[in-house]
Amino acid sequence: MGIARLCGAQSWDTIGRMAQHDLSHAAQDILETGLLNNWYLVCRASEVGPGPLKLKRLNQDIVLWRDQSGGVRAIEDYCPHRGAPLSLGFVIEGKIACAYHGLQIDGDGVIAATPPTPDSPLVGKKCVKSYPVREAAGAIFLWFGDALHQEPPEMWLPEELASDEWSYFLYTATWKANYLVTLDNRLDPLHGSYLHGDSYTLSYGRKEARLKIADIDDGFEVWRDNQRGVNIDRTWMAHTPGQNYWIRTEIPYPKASGGNMFRIGGYPTPVDRDTTYFWVFRSQKNAGWRRDMWRFLYKNRLERRHNAVVDQDKVMLESVPLAARQRELLLQTDLGVVRIRRIWRLEAERQARALAEAPRQAAE
């Protein structure tokens, strides 16, 4: 007897609704814990040494270490023997050894040795998830791919990090807020005139505007219609397909600090549903004595002032629950927020749909 006869005349509609509900739930899960098939900055390079480093990113437990050549390796923080965290173990000859029973796992997630039973057939089997790693710009990036995208494309970096014409500093912090809330904030130029209205760099300009929005080659940009180069007046998002996202903003310096602009760029990394690893590169395009002067001023005065501004964001965003979206009354100046939410939602739905259809396509 077929499914339709067992379930009745409405069976296919019911099954369809159930499938749609499951798909919607899967998309929401991807959205809230981090879009897949992207490179994510997970920590500073200086944090990874010859011993295990335990991290949680995209709601996944990970252990990182440096192998004998100094390269960074990253695998799931899980011993396939009895489930002990590998981060409690130690590194031996470039492999991580579990403190519980001594199993050794290499950087590809392959069991290299089982000391309690040296002749175990488990030796040589890949039993733990591994993560492709890139070390660049003083940071460690991991590729978080879904089941259909285990092999990553080569990582793309914006000109601020790739070009010798730019100089930069990396800022990192952990916030108790969902990363989607921090993303909204990055595409919201007008908050600078209010939340940061007493700051050294953002206490200037008009407090009202209409926001303009336009597509660019690899994303979109938003800007105020009544000033430029005064406050947070322009922000843009760039996306290299199958790669990563970068959100960038140019901030003006007061004339007392030499004028010019500096640029902040990055993309917050989810830790779990309630926590974000927030990071940005602060950079300026300069050369010669101007570069030396900016770097000197940054370390002696500007960094402290910039951090005070970010601390204002942290306090505010840690007080905004993700569920607040259910009761929002958005303004015209939220154009960038609306656009980025739509992009992320559609991408999460696309990823969930592709994963759901993969078994059926394989069967065919």
Residue 328 to residues 189, 211, 341, Cα–Cα distance (Å): 18, 18, 13
pLDDT tens by residue, 174-212: 999 999 999 999 999 989 889 888 887 788 888 898 999
pLDDT tens by residue, 35-62: 999 999 999 999 999 999 999 999 999 9
- Lowest mean pLDDT: which of 47-51, 86-90, 298-302? 298-302
pLDDT tens by residue, 14-30: 434 445 557 889 999 99
Instruction: Please compute the mean of the pLDDT values over residues 295-314 and round it to a whole number.
Output: 92
pLDDT tens by residue, 89-145: 999 999 999 999 999 999 999 999 999 999 999 999 999 999 999 999 999 999 999
Task: Provide the pLDDT confidence category of residue 243 given band limits of 50, 70 and 90.
Answer: confident
Which domains does the chain carry?
48-144 (2.102.10.10), 159-345 (3.90.380.10)
**Residue 317 has what pLDDT?**
97
**Residue 2 has what pLDDT?**
40
- Taking the model in full, what pTM does it have? 0.90
**Residue 10 has what pLDDT?**
46
pLDDT exceeds cutoff 90 at 240 = no
